[in-house]
């Protein structure tokens, strides 16, 4: 990232959404020079596939597809299929985010039907504090679903899942979700400006 011509440096910030979120958590935990990390509806455990880093393997959290539900409109609701990372036999899938050097911002949609983002954000907060680290910043958005895109993107309440190949329900009430996208965008700018550029007050993005 530092060698990319569009990266100012010397600090690097990460922004991850969904599966990209736990990948960013892993990068922040194991790589040097990560100054700030933003997670949008992310899990605190490694998901989907095992993660390999040097001589270490973090297994995926695992799921129980038998617990998936189907909405009245025929969409899959996956929120209950993921195993609990706090159960002892799933602990190895937890990402050691307490090793990270920089702060975290968790963006959480309280109507996320892809996975339990609020639950995962609380796990992250408790884990960091248990290791003597500062609490992460967590922003909760009521009636907001999984896909919190930049502002003025149409709210994505459902789409064909890249892995399953089936239509999945993501949640979110359109008006509340749209407002959350607008606010989250500004909060992300403020967070990165503070921890990457050292600016306490920033001009709001005009997007």
Would you call 60 a catalytic residue per the annotation?
no
Would you call 117 a catalytic residue per the annotation?
no
Query: Which one of the listed residues 18, 29, 125, 178 is annotated catalytic?
Result: 18
Query: Which one of the listed residues 22, 112, 113, 177 is annotated catalytic?
Result: 112
- Residues 6 or more apart whose CB falls under 8 angstroms from that of 64 comprise 81, 83
C-alpha distances in angstroms, 63 versus 2, 35, 90, 139, 191? 36, 32, 11, 27, 33
Would you call 112 a catalytic residue per the annotation?
yes
Query: Which one of the listed residues 22, 117, 125, 146 is annotated catalytic?
Result: 146
Residues annotated catalytic, as ranges: 18, 112, 146
């Amino acid at each position: 990232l530092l060698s990319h011509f569009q990266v100012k440096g010397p600090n690097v910030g990460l922004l991850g959404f969904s599966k990209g979120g736990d990948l960013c958590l892993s990068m922040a935990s194991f790589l040097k020079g990560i100054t700030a990390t933003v997670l949008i509806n992310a899990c605190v455990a490694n998901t989907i596939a095992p993660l390999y880093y040097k001589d270490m393997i973090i297994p995926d959290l695992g799921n129980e597809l038998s617990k998936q539900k189907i909405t009245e409109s025929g969409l899959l609701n996956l929120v209950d299929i993921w195993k609990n990372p706090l159960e002892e036999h799933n602990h190895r899938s937890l990402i050691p985010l307490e090793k990270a050097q920089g702060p975290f911002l968790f963006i959480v949609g309280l109507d996320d039907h892809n996975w339990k983002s609020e639950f995962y954000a609380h796990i992250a907060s408790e884990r960091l504090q248990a290791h003597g680290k500062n609490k992460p910043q967590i922003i909760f958005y009521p009636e907001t679903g999984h896909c919190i895109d930049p502002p003025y993107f149409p709210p994505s309440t459902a789409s064909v899942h890249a892995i399953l190949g089936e239509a999945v329900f993501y949640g979110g009430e359109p008006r509340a979700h749209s407002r959350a996208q607008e606010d989250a965008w500004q909060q992300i700018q403020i967070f990165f400006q503070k921890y990457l550029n050292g600016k306490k007050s920033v001009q709001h993005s005009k997007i």
